[in-house]
A and B are shown apart, each in its own frame.
Chain A
Amino acid sequence: MATLEIKNIHVSVEEKQILKGVDLTVRSGEIHAIMGPNGTGKSTLASALMGNPKYEVTEGEVILDDENILDMEVDERARAGLFLAMQYPAEVPGVTNSDFMRQAMRATTGKDVNLIDFAMSYEGAIKDLKMREDLAHRYLNEGFSGGERKRNEILQLKMLKPKFAILDEIDSGLDVDALRIVGHSVSDMIKEDQFGVILITHYQRILDYIKPTHVHIMIDGKIVLTGGQELIAKIDQSGYDWVREELGIDFEDKEANQ
């Protein structure tokens, strides 16, 4: 059983404060959905946890099994068991998916990965996610469609088996069929490997497949409401305006303004 404890973190991007004190504790096997209007800091939380150099944590700590991961480099966080399925993963020309994946597995497990075992399990995972058969030999995300990139993130999750996975809007850019494949796949993985999940979304669709144990609503850089699946239905019906009214918060819905 592992625990990821986020304590009062404040995060800035280019001197602008986005997160204003977020607290959240996730244990193995739990699925925490973080919902909220666009531009309220959900993806900032994901990037700050992984250590994206564009994001600066100005206050607070994040404890993974007794260690403050904010003191660690990005790769150390990954080796400690954190995984982020990114919203906009980078392209790396000239580096094949399989070379990269094998090196990542060697780094996270600290062991050499047998080539044949690797090839078998990688090909199996590619098939499960219904991706192109030549994926292993294609260059990392180069020329990938939005949906392919998202699936590649999930494929990496499947191979690396972290303690905690943060899924940053993996549903955006996926069509209905791809969403179902990814949703079922992630849901099966959690059942099998019992890792903890922070799932960031502003749609409800993905939650039909991945059933959260906790639902949090984030507004203006803070988690303002926490509950169970009943919150999802309520957001589905009435959006986020009721949250403001019920809690008496004045916030700007950036999505509505766009």
Chain B
Amino acid sequence: MIQLLDHYQAWFNQNILTVPKNSIIETPIHITLSENSEYTFNVESNSEVTLIVEFKASLKDLETIVLTLNVKQNSHVKYVLISEEKSFKTNIHQSIQVEKDANLHVISGFLSQNLEADLKVNLNGENARAMVNAIVVSNDQQQQTVDVHMTHYAPRSYGDMYNVGISNGYGRVTLNGIEKIEKGMKQANAFQTLKGIILSDFSMVDVNPILLIDEYDVKAGHGATVGKIEEQQLYYLQSRGLSKIDAEKLIIKGYIKPILDEINDQALVDRLETTIYERI
């Protein structure tokens, strides 16, 4: 079931939401999903919109949602997906098509207790651009895996990702980033940064950055780090009076704040911050 404001009911048919062409929507459209199912979001050409999609769990053992997003020519879409903390185990499959001259920014906060998420972004048209930011936070015995695939099917396409995994307690996070440039897709740009932060002696973060490039005339780069919070950063903040726990929180906030600041819904950001800080 999709819930959304009456104002947009006309755009909604079965499990499909279609934003018509030439629509410039300034306030974000909130969509709440509450059942296992498949949903499709279409943003027709020359439109600008922010979609905030929240998946509220019903405490079943396993919940699966399949989401498709189509960003048509010359549209600008910010797509925020939040999977909720109450959900015990969630599988999320997302596939996104980005057409010529379109621009997509994906922000995902994965806070389900156990999670397997994959996100496939296809850059199909020339000058298509996609930026993906994912935050995964784990605690206790939670296990979370996030795969982000980006494939460049067009020349001059641009793909970038910056994903952060934080693990505490006995938590285990796996972040895979796979970016592929097909042959002939000249002057494509592919970048990725994966960051893993370990907060306890028993937690794990696994990061796997992979670039597959079948064309010479491209720009690409990737970086991945996993580690505890730097001792000298903690020392510095503590030397100004911050307790160790406040210093740790501030440093972690530094990793995720630039991502959360992109979500233009303060109430949602506050809620996410609260959940994240509870786990760390």
User: A74-B239, A79-B241 in contact; A103/B254 too (CB < 8 A)?
Assistant: no
Give complex CA distance A90, B256 in Å.
Answer: 19
- B233 interfacial contact with A, CB 8 Å: yes
- A188 interfacial contact with B, CB 8 Å: no
CB of B239 within 8 A of CB of A95, answer no
CB of B242 within 8 A of CB of A92, answer no
The 8 Å CB contact of A103, one of B235, B239, B250, B258, is: B250
CB of A104 within 8 A of CB of B231, answer no
- B243 interfacial contact with A, CB 8 Å: yes
CB of B237 within 8 A of CB of A100, answer yes
Give complex CA distance A125, B233 in Å.
Answer: 24
Q: Name the residue among B230, B232, B241, B256 with the largest chain A CB count within 10 angstroms.
A: B241
**Shortest CB distance B132–A (Å):** 18
Q: Name the residue among A52, A79, A86, A95 with the largest chain B CB count within 10 angstroms.
A: A95
- B8 interfacial contact with A, CB 8 Å: no
User: A100-B250, A103-B246 in contact; A92/B233 too (CB < 8 A)?
Assistant: yes
Per-residue CB contact flags for chain A residues 85-107 toward chain B (1 = under 8 Å, else 0) read 01001111111000110011001
CB of A86 within 8 A of CB of B236, answer yes
Residues of A contacting B253 with CB < 8 Å? 94-95
CB of B250 within 8 A of CB of A53, answer no
CB of A93 within 8 A of CB of B254, answer yes
The 8 Å CB contact of A100, one of B240, B255, B257, is: B240
Give complex CA distance A74, B235 in Å.
Answer: 7
The 8 Å CB contact of B241, one of A53, A78, A93, is: A78
**Shortest CB distance B18–A (Å):** 37
User: A95-B250, A95-B253, A103-B250 in contact; A90/B242 too (CB < 8 A)?
Assistant: no
- B244 interfacial contact with A, CB 8 Å: yes
- B29 interfacial contact with A, CB 8 Å: no
Chain A, range 197-241, C-beta contacts under 8 Å to B: none
Give complex CA distance A95, B252 in Å.
Answer: 9
Per-residue CB contact flags for chain A residues 43-63 toward chain B (1 = under 8 Å, else 0) read 000000011110000000000
- A108 interfacial contact with B, CB 8 Å: yes
Q: How many A-B residue pairs have CB under 8 A?
A: 78
The 8 Å CB contact of A95, one of B238, B241, B244, B254, is: B254
Give complex CA distance A160, B233 in Å.
Answer: 19
CB of B237 within 8 A of CB of A94, answer no
Residues of A contacting B237 with CB < 8 Å? 92, 100, 104
CB of A107 within 8 A of CB of B240, answer yes
Q: What count of chain A residues pass the 8 Å CB interface test?
A: 29
- A194 interfacial contact with B, CB 8 Å: no
Give complex CA distance A60, B257 in Å.
Answer: 43
Give complex CA distance A67, B70 in Å.
Answer: 66
Residues of B contacting A: mostly: helix
User: A75-B241, A78-B240, A95-B250 in contact; A52/B235 too (CB < 8 A)?
Assistant: yes
Residues of B contacting A40 with CB < 8 Å? none
Give complex CA distance A51, B232 in Å.
Answer: 11
Task: Please name the residue on chain B nearest to A47 by beta carbon.
Answer: B235
CB of A75 within 8 A of CB of B236, answer no
CB of B251 within 8 A of CB of A75, answer no
The 8 Å CB contact of B238, one of A73, A89, A91, A139, is: A73
Residues of B contacting A160 with CB < 8 Å? 240-241
Give complex CA distance A91, B251 in Å.
Answer: 10
**Shortest CB distance A1–B (Å):** 22
CB of A73 within 8 A of CB of B232, answer no
Task: Please name the residue on chain B nearest to A93 by beta carbon.
Answer: B254
CB of B250 within 8 A of CB of A90, answer no
CB of A92 within 8 A of CB of B238, answer no
Give complex CA distance A95, B256 in Å.
Answer: 10
Residues of B contacting A75 with CB < 8 Å? 238-239, 241-244, 247
Give complex CA distance A92, B236 in Å.
Answer: 9
CB of A53 within 8 A of CB of B235, answer yes
Pairs A–B under 8 Å by Cβ, sample size 28? A50-B239, A53-B231, A74-B235, A74-B238, A75-B238, A75-B239, A75-B244, A75-B247, A77-B239, A78-B241, A84-B239, A90-B232, A92-B236, A92-B237, A92-B250, A92-B251, A94-B254, A94-B255, A94-B256, A94-B257, A95-B250, A95-B253, A103-B242, A104-B237, A104-B240, A107-B240, A107-B241, A108-B240
